[in-house]
Chains A and B, each alone.
Chain A
Amino acid sequence: MREQAEKRQTGFILMQARMRAWTRPVARVVGKLQSFARTLARFAAAIYVAGAARVRSTAITWIGLYERADAILRFDIHQRIQHFLMMSSFMTLAVTGLPQKFFELNASQNFISFLGGLESVQYIHRFAAYVMMVSCAYHLLYLINTLILRKNLGPLRMLPGLKDITDLRQTVLYWLGFVDKGPEFGRYTYLEKFDYWAVFWGIFIMGGSGLILMLPVLATRLIPGMFVPVAHAAHSDEAILAIGWIAIVHILRAHFWPGIFPFNTAIFTGWVSHKRYEEEHPLEYQQIMRKKQSKRQAEVLKAEAAE
C-alpha cells in the first residue's frame, strides 16, 4: 500500500517536472509581459492619484512658464539642461580621466580594473566627451536662436566689460578693508563670467586635443605629427586646470558657500528667492522689478481703457 502510494507520488512529481520543462519558457515571456503591464498600470494610477493637473503644473514650474510670487526665474530650461549635461559629463570625464593621467598609483589601477580595464574606461570617457560636445552644440544653437532669431540680447551680458575691472578693484579693496561695501553686480558677476569663459576656452582645447588623441592617424593627415604629443600634453594639463578650478573656485564659491550650502538650487530649479536675488545681483534685480512694475501698470491702464 505504502510503496504504491510512494510510487504514485514520485510519478506525480516527475510528471510535474516534465510539464514545467515545457511550460517554463512560455511562462517566462508571459511573466515579463505581466510585469511590464503592471508597471504601466502603476504609472497610470500614480498620475491619476496625483492628478493630471498637478503633474502639468509641476512640469510648467520646471519649464518656468508661470510666475511665482516668492521667486524670480534666473535660468530658463535650456540653460539648466546645458548645465546638467555639462556637469554630469564633466564629472564622468574627470573620474575616468584622472586615473589615466596618474596611472602609476595603485588606486587608479584598481579603479580602472574595477571598471573593466582601460578599454571600458576609455569607452566611458569618450561617451561623456560626446555628451559634453552635444551640450556645447546645444548651447551654441541656443545662443543663435536667442540672439538672432528671437533678437533677445540677454546673453550679451556675459561679455566681459569695464565694469568687471572696477568691480574687481572694489572687491579687493573691500576684502582688504579699505572700503565698507562690496560692488553691486548686474546679471553676471566677474567670477561667473570667468567660469563661463574658462569652460568656453577649455571645451575647445579639450575637445580638439581629445579628438586628435582619439584619431591620431586621421589627424596627422591634416596636421604635422608633432601635434599629437602637443595635444597629449595640452589635454592632460588643461584637464588639471579645469578640474582644479571647478573643485576649488566654482564648487566653493557657487555651491559650498555660507547661505548657499550644500548646493545652489538656482541652476537646477531655475528659481531664486527675491531676498537672495537682491543681495547677489542687485542691479539686475532692480531692473527686473522696474520692468515688472511697468508691465503691471500697463495692464492696469489697459484694463481701465477697456472699462
Chain B
Amino acid sequence: MDKRQKVSEHLQGPDAFGALQQKMVTLERGKMVKSRYWQGILFLALVLGLAFLFPAVSYAQTPIDQQSQQCVACHQSSGIDFSLPSGEKVKAFLDVKNFRNSLHSQLACQSCHQDKKAFPHEKFQAQNLREYRAAASQACQTCHNDGNNSWTSSVHGLARQKGNVQAAVCADCHDAHATAPPSVSRMATSNCRTCHEKVTDSYQDSVHGKAALQGNKKAATCASCHSEDAKVHTMVPTADLVSLTQKSNIPLLCARCHTKAQESYKSTLHGRAWRLGKHDEFPTCIDCHGSYGVQTAHGAESALKPEKLGETCARCHTGADANFASGWMGHEEPSPKHFQIVWVTEKMFFYLTTITLAGGLLIVELDLLRWWTDKRKGNRKQ
C-alpha cells in the first residue's frame, strides 16, 4: 500500500450528505489531495536525496532514525506505564506494528516528543490525565495547523479557550501512534461517547445510528449535523447563529438529506410559523421526530404513531388529546384518499369562489358596457 493511496483513503472520512455538500467536500478534498500530493513528492525527493548521501539510513528500510530505534528498544516492551500525581496511569508502551502501519510511521519520535531528548526523561509537569493530554496535543500543532478549519475554531477548541478543561483535545480522539481514518463507529461508540454518553446512546438506537453502524454511508453521523461540511474539526457550538443545529436552522439542516419532507413541512402551519419568524415558538423537525434518537414516523418506537401522537402534540398544545391529534394531516396534501373531508371542502370552495367571482365580474362588466353604450348614444346625461 503506497503512501498516496493511504493519504487519499485517510482523507475520505465519513461520506458527505446532500448534493451540495458532496460537491463542496469533493472540491475541498481535491484541493487538499493536490497540496498533499506535492508535499509528498517533495518529501520523496528529499528522502531519495538523503538516501544517496547516507546509505546507512536507507538500509534500515524503516524511516525511524537511529535515535528513535533507541527509544523503541525500551518502549516496545509492556509494563513500563507510569502514573501521574493524580493517580491516573499513562501507557508508555508502543505497539511497533501498529505504528509502522500508521500515517506517522515516517516521523522520528523526537519530532513530536521534543522534551524527551535525554535519558532519564525529564519529569512530567502535568498533574492529571487532562493536563497530560493537552500538553501532548500541543505537538500536533507543529504540522496540523489548518488555520480556520482547525480544532482551535471548532466547538471543542472554543470551549478549551473559555477554560473548559474537559473539552476534547487531539489526543482524546486520535491515537498518534495508530492514526486511523475517522469512522462513524469510532465516533458513536468510542470517541464522542467518552464525554457525550447520553446522546450517543440514543443516537445508536435512532434510524440514523442504526443505519450508519450497519455501514450505510449515507446515514447521518455526529459530524454531519454538527458541522457545515460533515467534519469533526469544523463543528460549531449550537448557540452559534450560523450553526445548523440552531433552532431556526434545523429545517435547513434536515433538508440536506430530506428535501421532500422539508418542502411539505413548509406548507404546514408549523412550517409557516418557522418561515414567518414566530420567535422561538415554532416547532421544527426535531420537536416531533426526535433529535438524537430520531425515528421514522411509522416506526415501532416512533412518537408519531397514532396511539402516541396525542401526547406528542400536547408537548406544545397544552391539553391536546388523541382527538386533537386526529386532525393532523402529516406532511401530505389532502386528497380523496387522505382526509377526504378537507379535500371536499377545498374543492367546494374553489368552485364556489370561481363561479361567484366570475359572475360578479360579468355583472360589473356588462353594467359598465351598457352605461358606456348609453352614454355614447346620448341616452344618458352623466
Residues of chain A at the chain B interface (Cβ within 8 Å): 100, 103-104, 109, 112-113, 117-119, 121, 172, 174-177, 182, 191, 216-217, 220-221, 224-230, 232-234, 237-238, 240-241, 244-245, 248-249, 252-253, 258-259
Contact = CB atoms under 8 A, between A and B. Distances in A.
Contacts of B324: 216-217, 220, 225, 228
A233 to B, nearest CB: 5
A191 B363 contact: yes
6 contacts: A176-B366, A225-B325, A227-B327, A241-B357, A248-B364, A253-B367
Nearest to A212: B327
Given A118-B278, A119-B278, A217-B324, A249 B272 contact: no
A179 to B, nearest CB: 11
B357 A248 contact: yes
A217 B278 contact: no
Nearest to A222: B323
Given A118-B277, A220-B324, A248-B364, A229 B342 contact: yes
Contacts of B356: 241, 244-245
A224 B342 CA distance: 13
B320 interface: yes
Contacts of A117: 276-279
Interface string B330-361: 00001000010110011001101100110011
B308 interface: no
B275 interface: yes
B339 A226 contact: yes
Contacts of A258: 371, 375, 382
Does more than half of chain A's interface fall in helix, strand or loop, or is it mixed? helix
Contact of A226 (B276, B277, B281, B341): B341
Nearest to B319: A217
A225 B279 contact: no
Nearest to A172: B366
Contact of B275 (A104, A175, A227): A104
Contact of A229 (B266, B275, B318, B334): B334
A144 to B, nearest CB: 30
Contact of B353 (A109, A216, A241): A241
Contacts of A230: 341-342, 345
B357 A245 contact: yes
Given A229-B339, A241-B356, A249 B364 contact: yes
10 closest A-B pairs (Cβ-Cβ)? A225-B327, A237-B349, A225-B326, A228-B327, A249-B360, A118-B276, A220-B324, A118-B278, A241-B353, A175-B366
Contacts, number: 117
A220 B272 CA distance: 22
B327 A241 contact: no
A240 B353 contact: yes
Nearest to A180: B379
A140 to B, nearest CB: 25
B345 A234 contact: yes
A87 to B, nearest CB: 18
Given A225-B326, A244-B353, A112 B277 contact: yes
Given A224-B326, A226-B339, A230-B341, A249 B363 contact: yes
Contacts of A241: 349, 352-353, 356-357
A121 B350 CA distance: 26
B349 A100 contact: no
Given A229-B339, A258-B371, A224 B276 contact: no
A175 B363 CA distance: 9
B273 interface: yes
A225 B323 contact: yes
Nearest to A108: B276
Nearest to B375: A258
Nearest to A119: B278
B369 interface: yes
B65 interface: no
Contacts of B269: 232
Nearest to B361: A248
A121 B276 CA distance: 10
Interface string B83-116: 0000000000000000000000000000000000
Interface in B292-346: 317-321, 323-329, 334, 339, 341-342, 345-346
Contact of B360 (A225, A227, A237, A245): A245
Contacts of B31: none
B309 to A, nearest CB: 10
B276 A100 contact: yes
A83 to B, nearest CB: 20
A259 B382 contact: yes
B272 A103 contact: yes
Contact of A109 (B276, B342, B366): B276
Contacts of A182: 370
Contacts of B342: 226, 229-230, 233
